[in-house]
Structures are given as structure tokens and as C-alpha cells.
Chains A and B, each alone.
Chain A
């Protein structure tokens, strides 16, 4: 990877009242990529994100944004970041425009033209002069992104950005995040507890559980490692015996048999079954659920 590193996290730890919540996290974000932060609720995603934007002081470890240390060069470092932490709460008694103006006053060199630009970018220019109290959740989410983009950041951090959006809104949001990374060259960090969502928009993903990063890799590689095939064939016990001779049978019950997914050998296995007189009614490659991934990665530990 020769692309520039925009966010570098080293050995980040947080202890709250003697209990270690975040147990030493390290990862890097590159220019122009969408990085997924995946984990069940309570894994420490939000705490980590809050440490990345300076809301929570880490017990130890460093966060560097475009080369600036977040702790020692706070204003220089934070200037490179735009973020939404949890829900994008705005002042409901102000208009969308006034909200953006309010935050623009806290940043040097951001004027009315930039406010209009981001309002257009998120498609809010029609309603920008209405009170935020009258906005729908989707519009508030978009206004949240608008305020995050206001300072022309290099790194965009979005905590559960599709929470509470309808399916159309989710699709729109995904396309928008891809656009920001590919066209504008931003690094985008997206957290989510939904594998499907991360899978559809991220280049790389980090999987987090119980305050630790279990794996950091590209989405395909992580998923392919764990992909499965579900067979439906009769008689089941015969099919099971035949498949067991070829590969590992991971799970089986009266109707289905689960084996690892090996695309190159799938046709041969099927031919064997058919030749032996087994009637195969269904061969379904199945991507692992998040839960499968966790069980695999944590070695059988359940999700908290």
C-alpha cells in the first residue's frame, strides 16, 4: 500500500474505574479508502471513535491525524477530521443553515459559500432554511454529514451512519460514502454492527470484540475464509458420507449439510453426489453471519 496514511492509531487503551474497556488497538487508515469498523454493540466501537476525535482521553497509546498528534497538537489534528458520533444531534430551535453557520464560526476560513456547497452536496438546499426541529431523521443524518464535511476534512468518521434510515436512504448513504472516498479522496471510517452493510461499502474492515481488534483485512479475504455452502440433498445421510470423504462437514441435520465453500471444487462434489444417485435439490453458497465470524475468530466465545 503506497497511499498516504491519514490516521494512525497505536496501542490505544482505555481503563474506566479499573476495568480495561479498550485493550490495545492499532490500525491505520489510508487516503481514499472506506474502512469498516465492525463489532457487536458493546464491543468498544463508540469508545474507540470517541478517543479518535478527542472526546475521551485514552489511558495510553497515540492517535495521529495526518501526522499531527491528537493530544499534543489538538487543534491542528482535529482540523483534519469531520465526524458524527452516534446520532447527529443539532440545535432543533435553529435552522439547518444556522446550525452550519454556528459550527463554521468555530473553524477558520469557512464562509457562506462553503456552507452552501456542503448543503448542496448532501442534497439539503431546499430545506436548509427550515428549523431542524421539523426535519425527518434522514434529513438530520444528512445535515450531520454536512457539518462533518464543513471544514474540508481529510478523514471522515461516521458512527453507525445508516442507523434509523429507510432502505432507500441506506442505499443513498452508501453511494454517497463511496463517492466521498473515490472522488474526493477522503478516508472514511464507518462503524457498524451489520456485516452486510460493511461488506457493501468498505475496502477494508476491522473486526472488534470485547475491546480488541480480532482481524484487520480486506472484506473479500475475511469473508472468503469463512464462507460456507449449504446443501439440500436426499437421502441426507448418504450425501453426508460422500461429502465427508471429499471435505469437512461442518454441520448437518435432517435436511441440510454445511461444508466449507471452495468454488473450484463445488462442481466435482456435485457430480459425485449425482453419480451416486443422490438427488441434490439445492446448493447455496452462504456468506458467514457476523456471529459465525466472531465465533470463528474468538474461538467459540460468544458475543457479549
Chain B
């Protein structure tokens, strides 16, 4: 089995997929670092000070002003009210929620990358794992060896899991290393609050507690890895079902993007919460942001994702084992 996995990793590496992914991460992280830097500068200019307390107070005033506007959807108002409560809590407890530093950048990067960017990178590897062998015809040479079909597919899936781990590692290391050049490398011990539970319009702060930022980042990385594995598994399934890598990419991209759009408009369509693509923002539960549909929790979302992933894996193996290869 390890020889088969070695074969699959060799092919992924020699196709230079992982280098492309590393390059994409590096370029985008540099871009975001610069954007973040400009935003901090802008804020500093506007407020005339870099004191975060003033900044936070300013943000709270901003929020309060926006809440007074009458032409606002009920949903948005609810969200802003929750944010307001959260920020007031930070101020009262003397905690800087966005203390600059590479770890903070890394944290926000993961939070923003979890539902689209990281899954996209995983797709770059997963989309052509099987479909490229089918379209190039090399699948025939693979399947006429004295190895059972399920072992061949399993070796590919293990190679995918290894690649996902590598991608997560690259995202973490590159975002830390590159943003640190600008923001400095300190800030792992910064205490952060978690445990906010949005309940309707209220923010339940009963379970709020403090954890150091490094722990927070580890939790988020774990959640991001979970999301990436599920999206990778579904992509893998389509890669088995379809010969065209472009079609696999197209379907998965459409699903991911529709998820991002749906999250903003499905609050009254309750059964939409069983779609995998509206459940991708797992880090929001840690942050305490309102879920797209009332009643969704971290456990619920992870269960939905796990079911989708398992179903995808079953379909992939079932089809691959029985299919006639032309």
C-alpha cells in the first residue's frame, strides 16, 4: 500500500501542483498583508492615534450609528447588534480584539480562507486525481496490475489527505512568515475570547472564556483542515464520476460560490442548512458570529459535512469498483 501511495504522491509532486499552490498562497498572502497594512494606516490617520481602545470605541459608535438607520434589513440589524455586544464586551474587559502581529493576521486569514480559498487550493489537487488518468488513458495501465481496484482508489485518497495536510501547513507557515515581515512575529500568547453563542438577537455570553491565540489558531486550523478534507472528498468523488477535470472544477466551484451567496439569503429557508456549502464557515462559531440559519451550531455543521463527505467517499468507491473502463 505504501508503494501505491508513493506512486500517487510522486505524480502529484511531478505535476508541480504543490508548487503552484505554494505560489498562489504566497502571492495572495503578500497581497492581503499589504491591504491590511494600508487599512491599519488609514485607521491610524483617521483617528489620529493608534490606541486600540479609541479604535474600538470608534467602531462601537460606528455600529450604533449604522443601527439607527431605518432602511436596514432585519437580518443585518440582528447581526450588527450581536457584533456591538461582542465589542462592548471586549472593551469592558480590556482586551484588544485585533492586536496586530503575524499570528493575528494568520488567524483572520484562516477565518476568511476557510469557505472558499482553502477549498479551492484543495480542489487544484483533488480535481484531476482520477479524471486526468481517465482522460489520458493511463487508468487502463493502472487497472491491469495485480492490485485490487479499491486499493488503487484508496492510495489516491490517502495521497489526497497527505496533500491536504501539506496545503494546511503551507497556508499556516506562509501566512505567518510573510505577514510577520510587516507586522512582527509576536502575539501568540495574546488572550482571545471565545464561547459566544448567538441566540436570536442576543449574544449569550454565559460560556465566554479566554484562550491564548495559539490555541485559537490551532482550533481554527483544525476546523479548516476538516472543511478542506470534506470539500476534497467531494471533489474526489466528481473526479471519479467525470472524465473532464474542467467539469469537476466547474461543478465544485459553482457549489462553493453558491454556498457563499446562499449564506447571505437563506435565513428563512430552513432546510438549506443541510446543504454542505452553507456549512463551511466553521470558524464563525468560534468567533461567535451569527450563523446563516437560526439553530445551526458547530456540532450540526460538522455532522452535516461529515455525512456529505462519507456519502461522497462511498459513491466514489462504489462507482470506481464496478465501472467498465473504455
Contacts and interface: CB of A to CB of B under 8 A. Distances in A.
B138 interface: yes
Contacts of B269: none
10 contacts: A56-B324, A75-B148, A79-B146, A86-B137, A89-B137, A98-B14, A102-B10, A103-B141, A106-B147, A107-B145
A256 interface: no
Summarize B's interface: helix, strand, loop or mixed: helix
A120 B37 CA distance: 61
Contacts of B322: 57
A83 B144 contact: yes
A89 B326 contact: no
Contact of A102 (B7, B144, B147, B326): B7
B146 to A, nearest CB: 4
B131 to A, nearest CB: 14
A179 interface: no
Given A87-B137, A105-B6, A106-B4, A55 B146 contact: no
B136 A56 contact: no
Interface string A48-68: 001001111100000000000
Contacts, number: 74
Contacts of A88: 141
A88 B138 CA distance: 8
Contact of B7 (A53, A54, A78, A106): A106
Given A55-B325, A108-B146, A93 B14 contact: yes
Interface of B: 3-4, 6-7, 10-11, 14-15, 136-138, 140-148, 322, 324-326
Best-buried of A85, A93, A151 by chain B (most CB within 10 Å): A85
A106 B146 contact: yes
Name the 5 nearest CB pairs between A and B, nearest first.
A89-B137, A106-B145, A75-B146, A105-B3, A55-B325
Contact of A90 (B3, B138, B143): B138
Nearest to B147: A106
Nearest to A94: B14
A147 interface: yes
Nearest to A89: B137
B324 A93 contact: no
Contact of B144 (A78, A87, A91): A78
Contacts of B143: 54-55
